[in-house]
Amino acid sequence: MTATHTDGRIARGNQTRQLILKRAVEIASVDGLEGLSLGQLATELKLSKSGVFALFGSKEDLQLATVRAAIKVYLEHVVQPARDLPPGLDHLWRLCSGWLDYSRKRIFPGGCFFYSVSAEYDAREGKVHDTLAATRTNWVTFLEQTVRDAQLAGEVDPAADVPQLVFELTALMEMANAESVLHHEFTSYDKAAKAILSRLRGVATDPALLPDAP
Partner DNA sequence: AAACTGATCGCACGATCGTTCGGTCATTTA
Partner DNA sequence: TAAATGACCGAACGATCGTGCGATCAGTTT
The residues of the shown chain that bind DNA, judged by CB under 7 A, are: 1, 4-10, 12-13, 15-16, 36-40, 42, 46-55, 58-60
With a CB cutoff of 8 Å and minimum separation 6, the contacts of 76 are none
User: Measured from the CB atom, is 69 or 132 closer to a second copy?
Assistant: 132
List, in sequence order, every residue forming a beta bridge with 122; answer none if it has no partner.
Answer: none
User: Measured from the CB atom, is 13 or 163 closer to DNA?
Assistant: 13
How many chain residues touch a second copy (CB under 8 A)? 41
Residue 182 identity (one-letter amino acid):
L
Torsion angle in degrees (nearest 10) through CA of 119, 99, 27, 124? -20
Q: Among a second copy, DNA, none, what does residue 115 contact (CB within 5–8 Å per kind)? A: a second copy
DSSP E strands, the chain = none
With a CB cutoff of 8 Å and minimum separation 6, the contacts of 88 are 149, 150, 153, 155, 209
Report which secondary-structure segment, H or E, holds 81. Answer: none
- The 80-119 site mask, x for binding a second copy (CB under 8 A), equals -----------------------------xxx---xx-xx
Of 68, 124, 127, 154, the one binding a second copy by CB under 8 A = 124
**Rounded to whole angstroms, how far apart are CA atoms 33 and 120?**
8
Asked if 176 and 100 count as a contact pair (C-beta separation under 8 A), the reply is yes
User: Measured from the CB atom, is 47 or 195 closer to a second copy?
Assistant: 195
Of 94, 175, 201, 205, the one binding a second copy by CB under 8 A = 175
Positions in the binding site for a second copy (CB under 8 A): 29-32, 34-35, 109-111, 115-116, 118-120, 122-124, 129, 132-133, 136-137, 163-164, 167-168, 170-172, 174-175, 178-179, 181-183, 188, 191-192, 194-195
